């Protein structure tokens, strides 16, 4: 029997009086909705990228925007990621708020020179005169069995580059509120969308605009024996693992980081100080992944509370495999459960 604990997400307490109406939507619909609302409230918001206009995006994330706002604000670009990113930087410097789409995270390398050397640094280089209020959004991660280079999770690269905020929602509700915040933010934001769960489930989302602050994690389940830390599409196997160990009476607290940079160190350390044990889960390769950063932070700040070494569950240290083998690569419930048991039996 599954013992399910109530979801206690702090953001779910959005005052119902203010936003009485909700509608059920998927994560990808929430992205579209956020883009729509932000474009509506701020005429400087632009969308640009490959196939984002007439086609509505290869995942339909920009569906309807071209019809609603026209080709001047929903811009189909030539096929060049450096071009998209560098042009967005120029637009941002000169008064617009571009939301640039990279079709798949596997192709973001071509954008990195612009994003890292300029978007991330311009505020600092111009000593505050210029800033780059752009969002670089893209689907990331595995689980849909596409061809090579369509399943990558390179978030750690961005976390390792000062000057960028890194945001990864795991629910439709968060996606809408955090994309709105990302667009309104005055610094460059990398917004990663877990495509595996683009349409995996629907939830009630307020129809009115709202924002969720960046840099705030969400304790989605309260527990006392171990803290499970994850984000994006890996929240599912992480929650499943929490359910699985609950059957043996293990009470796991589950933290959805939501923002990786700047990470919500307070929520993290408070939780682990309470539970004394931590497991970090992500699908990017374990070596050099964000799990290492979380582990180091916990060691630096709550070492004396730790009852066991922090456990990392990550992808293997190889390229994301072709479709037929991707299930072997992606972390799943059993691997998380195993890591929980390792911390408990330490």
Partner 1 sequence: MPRRTIYHAVTERLEILDEHGNIDPELDPHLTAEQLLALYRTMVRMRLFDQKGLNLQRQGRMGTWGSLQGQEASQAGMALAMEPQDWLTPSFREHGLMEAIGVPMRQIYAFWRGDGRGAIYPPHVNCLPQAVPVGTQFLHATGIGLALKKRGERAAVVGCGGDGATSEGDFHEAMNFAGVFQTNTVFFIQNNQWAISLPFNRQTASETIAQKAHAYGIPGIQVDGNDALAVYVASREALERARSGGGPTLIECLTYRLRDHTTADDHTRYRSADEVAEWQKRDPIDRMFAFLAGSGVWNDEREAALRTAINQEVEAEVEKFEQMSPPPPSDIFDYFYEVMPWNLKEQREQLLTEVARC
Active-site positions read: 150
324 binds partner 1 (CB under 8 A): yes
Choose from ligand TPP, partner 1, none: what does 83 bind? Cβ within 5-8 Å by kind. partner 1
Q: At 131, give phi and psi (nearest 5°).
A: -135, 165
CA angle 326, 327, 332 (to 5 degrees): 130
Choose from ligand TPP, partner 1, none: what does 76 bind? Cβ within 5-8 Å by kind. partner 1
From 319, 315, 218, select the one nearest 263 (Cα to Cα): 218
Task: Show the binding pattern over residues 60-99: x = contacts ligand TPP (CB under 6 A), - = does not.
Answer: -------------------x-x------------------
Joined together, the tokens standing for residue 45 give 């918001």
* Residue 144 CB contacts under 8 Å (≥ 6 apart), including other chains: 150, 151, 195, 196
Q: Where are the alpha helices (DSSP H) in 160-311?
A: 172-184, 235-246, 265-275, 290-302
Task: Show the binding pattern over residues 136-155: x = contacts partner 1 (CB under 8 A), - = does not.
Answer: ---------xxxxxx-----
Name residues contacting partner 1, limited to 262-321 (CB under 8 A). Answer: 286-287, 316-319, 321
Stretch that binds partner 1, among 37-45, 105-113, 131-139, 302-310 (CB under 8 A): 105-113
Q: Which residues bind partner 1 (CB under 8 A)?
A: 50-51, 53-56, 58, 76, 78-83, 106-107, 109-110, 145-150, 286-287, 316-319, 321-326, 328-329, 334-335
Q: Which residues bind ligand TPP (CB under 6 A)?
A: 50, 79, 81, 103, 107, 110
């Amino acid at each position: 029997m599954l013992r399910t604990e109530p979801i206690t997400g702090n953001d779910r307490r959005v005052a119902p009086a203010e936003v009485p109406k909700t509608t059920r939507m998927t994560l990808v619909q929430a992205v579209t909705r956020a883009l729509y609302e932000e474009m509506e409230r701020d005429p400087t918001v632009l969308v640009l990228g490959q196939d984002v206009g007439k086609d509505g995006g290869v995942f339909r994330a920009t569906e309807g925007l071209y019809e609603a706002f026209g080709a001047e604000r929903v811009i189909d670009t030539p096929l060049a990621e450096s071009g998209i990113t560098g042009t967005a930087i120029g637009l941002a410097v000169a008064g617009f708020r571009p939301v640039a789409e990279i079709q798949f995270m596997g192709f973001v390398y071509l954008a990195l020179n612009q994003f890292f050397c300029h978007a991330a640094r311009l505020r600092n280089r111009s000593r505050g005169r210029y800033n780059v209020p752009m969002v670089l959004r893209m689907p990331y991660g595995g689980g849909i069995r596409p061809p090579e280079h369509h399943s990558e999770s390179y978030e750690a690269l961005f976390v390792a580059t000062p000057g960028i905020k890194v945001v990864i929602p795991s629910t439709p509700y968060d996606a809408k509120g955090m994309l709105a915040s990302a667009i309104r933010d005055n610094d460059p934001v990398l917004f990663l969308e877990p495509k595996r769960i683009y349409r995996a489930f629907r939830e009630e989302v307020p129809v009115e605009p709202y924002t969720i602050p960046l840099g705030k994690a969400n304790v989605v389940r309260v527990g006392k024996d171990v803290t499970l830390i994850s984000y994006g599409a890996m929240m599912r196997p992480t929650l499943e693992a929490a359910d699985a160990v609950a059957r043996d009476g293990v009470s796991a607290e589950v933290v959805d980081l939501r923002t990786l940079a700047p990470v919500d160190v307070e929520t993290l350390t408070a939780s682990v100080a309470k539970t004394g044990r931590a497991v970090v889960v992500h699908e990017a390769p374990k070596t050099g992944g964000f799990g290492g950063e979380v582990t180091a932070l916990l060691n630096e700040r709550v070492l004396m509370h730790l009852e066991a070494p922090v456990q990392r569950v990550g992808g293997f240290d190889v390229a994301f495999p072709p479709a037929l083998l991707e299930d072997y690569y992606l972390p799943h419930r059993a691997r998380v459960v195993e890591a929980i048991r390792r911390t408990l039996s330490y």
